[in-house]
Amino acid sequence: MKAVLEKAKEKARIRINMIVEGEPAKWLIDWRRRGLVTSYTDGVIQAIRALNDKVTEQDLKSAQLGNIKRTDEEW
């Protein structure tokens, strides 16, 4: 039971209460109409995941470039 309670405390959680307007709202409406997302909440979560993937990819490329530059400097 203690392990279950500790695990529950580790779960990160936030509440976002907002209105989406303009182009992002149009995207969400279109994604839902096309069945790409099941709800607007799902759409926002998927968009955040996609952004995280892009940021992670950029971070990896930056790290690779740093490694290449260090390797070139050593030679």
Tell me whether residue 16 is in a domain: no
Query: Rounded to the nearest 10 degrees, how much is the dihedral formed by the CA atoms of 32, 36, 38, 44?
Result: -80
For 36-74, write each residue's pLDDT tens digit.
Answer: 999 999 999 999 999 999 999 999 999 998 888 777 777
Closest CA to 47 of 70, 24, 21: 24
In this predicted structure, what is the pLDDT of residue 5?
66
Tell me whether residue 45 is in a domain: yes
In this predicted structure, what is the pLDDT of residue 10?
80
pTM of the model: 0.71
**Inter-CA distances, 67 with 19, 25, 62, Å:** 43, 40, 9
Q: How many domains does the chain have?
A: 1
For 7-16, write each residue's pLDDT tens digit.
Answer: 667 888 899 9
In this predicted structure, what is the pLDDT of residue 65?
87
Q: Which domain holds residue 39?
A: 21-74
Tell which wins on pLDDT, 30 or 10: 30
